[in-house]
Amino acid sequence: MPQYETILTEQNGAVTVITLNRPQSLNALSSVVLEELISAFAAYQADDSQLCAVLTGSGEKAFAAGADIKEMADKPAADFYNQDFFSRWTSHLVKATRKPWIAAVNGFALGGGCELAMMADFIIASENAKFGQPEIKLGVAPGMGGSQRLTRAIGKSKAMEMCLTGRMMDAAEAERSGLVARTVPLADLMAEAMKTAETIAAMPPMAAMVNKEMVNAAYEMTLDQGLLHERRLFQILTATEDKAEGMAAFIEKRDGKWKGR
């Protein structure tokens, strides 16, 4: 495994665990973190032995308290624009990562931290988790998808209130609002995230990728286009060896053995 400066990675069976590891700055997302995350997610995507990933933050206080304010404070606007700052998160962590991954949110997920968590396929949160888009208090606004993904996740009224006031939402409200899939005690967070990741990793791998692609398509397409896309992908899956195996295994009352094809 490569050595990183700001994140930790480990393989646990078929599950890759990636941990943001700058607890002294509440796992703030610097440019180095961005590059290292891109590299770690590319390695996960490329490794056929790895079938699900979990992203979490080190320490008990924060998943990530946002983009690194100290790094951005003196950066000229032209650099943000010319470098198309923040664009690489979506292209690498969302679009290029076709295998499933879960955000295990332990504590603060603010600004870019909330936006990073929302790039995951779903979020499992600890009871002490807090979500927010406080960028307005810095004189700016979300820059990594907060205004778009949060609005799609929890609706206009709540998303607008959070962006305009910068208030934090606790884990219970986040679960009620549909932002997170499940809330668990902090002490159980990684065990629950790993159990869920192992469940996904035990599924037929190609079917897992197709299920992910289908659900994500709901964000991009009209209902008619999405339904057609779903049917076509379903029809492709019926030609796979894993479909034959899965149905035979059901009829023979045994577990399936997957080939990912």
Where on the chain is the footprint of ligand CO8 (CB under 6 A)? Answer: 25-26, 28, 65-70, 72-73, 108, 110-112, 134-135, 138, 140, 143
CA atoms of 193 and 56, how far apart (whole Å): 10
Nearest approach, Cβ of 110 to ligand CO8 (angstroms)?
A: 4
CB of 54 to ligand CO8, least distance (A): 22
Contacts of 5 (CB under 8 A, 6+ apart): 32, 36
Which among 220, 219, 259 has a CA at the least distance from the CA of 241? 259
28: amino acid identity, one letter: A
Toward ligand CO8, which CB reaches closer, 54 or 72? 72
Please state the closest distance from residue 135 (CB atom) to ligand CO8, in A.
Answer: 5
Of the pair 67, 180, the CB lying nearest ligand CO8 is at 67
Q: List active site positions.
A: 67, 112, 115, 135
**Residue 127 burial (10 A CB sphere; 0-12, 13-18, 19+):** middle
Buried b (16+ CB within 10 A) or exposed e, 25-44: bbbbbbbebbebbbebbebb
Give CA–CA dist 198/207, Å, rounded: 15
Least Å distance between CB 138 and ligand CO8? 5
Three-state helix/strand/coil letters over 107-124: CEEECHHHHHHHHCCEEE
Cβ atoms of residues 26 and 35 within 8 Å: no
Closer CB to ligand CO8, residue 25 or residue 183? 25
At its nearest, how many Å lie between ligand CO8 and the CB of residue 87? 13
- Pairing type for strands 62-64 and 52-57 reads unpaired
Judged by beta carbon, residue 70 or residue 254, the one nearer ligand CO8 is: 70
Contact indicator for 41, 55 with CB cutoff of 8 Å: no
Helices 156-165, 146-154: axis angle to 10 degrees equals: 140
Cβ nearer to ligand CO8, comparing 33 with 40: 33
